[in-house]
Amino acid sequence: MTMSSRRQDLGSWLQGTPAGPSAGRAPGIDLPESGPGSRAGLGRRVVALLVDWGLSLAISAAFLEGHPMGTLGVFALTTVVLVSTLGHTIGHRLLGLTVARVRDTADRPDRAPAPGLVPGLMRTFLLCLVLPAAVWDGQGRGMHDVAAGTVLVRR
């Protein structure tokens, strides 16, 4: 491998996907461009996160004297349980979003089954670390979703 080919590989990764029929899609993920099953936009994801965090703050204030680690614990527990079993948190549900495993997105990504316990745990653990959720790939998926093999889509 030559130095210029390595630079090209790095440049293509930083620039995201090339324009064309598969633009905006991750390798192996064939999502519609809009409507049900399309990748969730940043605005909806942030608002859903704020709803979930607000509910966690309320529970923590009521039962744990608002302790910051208690709030994080409530957030983590509710996120793991709800995403693993239902495929969405309360915030996701209110904003019309669902979490699906990438391998289950072939036909109807908005109708895919819940991701399960292991992807739910991995996704939530990395989400609670904040940094992986703030770093996205070329298709707009957070690193917590990439590592867990999941994608957040519109219902």
**Residue range 44-60, pLDDT digits in tens:** 999 999 999 999 999 99
Sequence-distant (6+) residues with CB within 8 A of 60 are 66, 67, 70, 71, 74
- Sole residue written with tokens 């709800």: 82
Residue 112 three-state SS: coil
Average of per-residue pLDDT across 29-47: 86
| The amino acid at 16 | G
- Sole residue written with tokens 């979930």: 52
What distance in Å separates the CA atoms of residue 26 and residue 33, rounded to the nearest whole number? 12
This prediction has a pTM of: 0.78
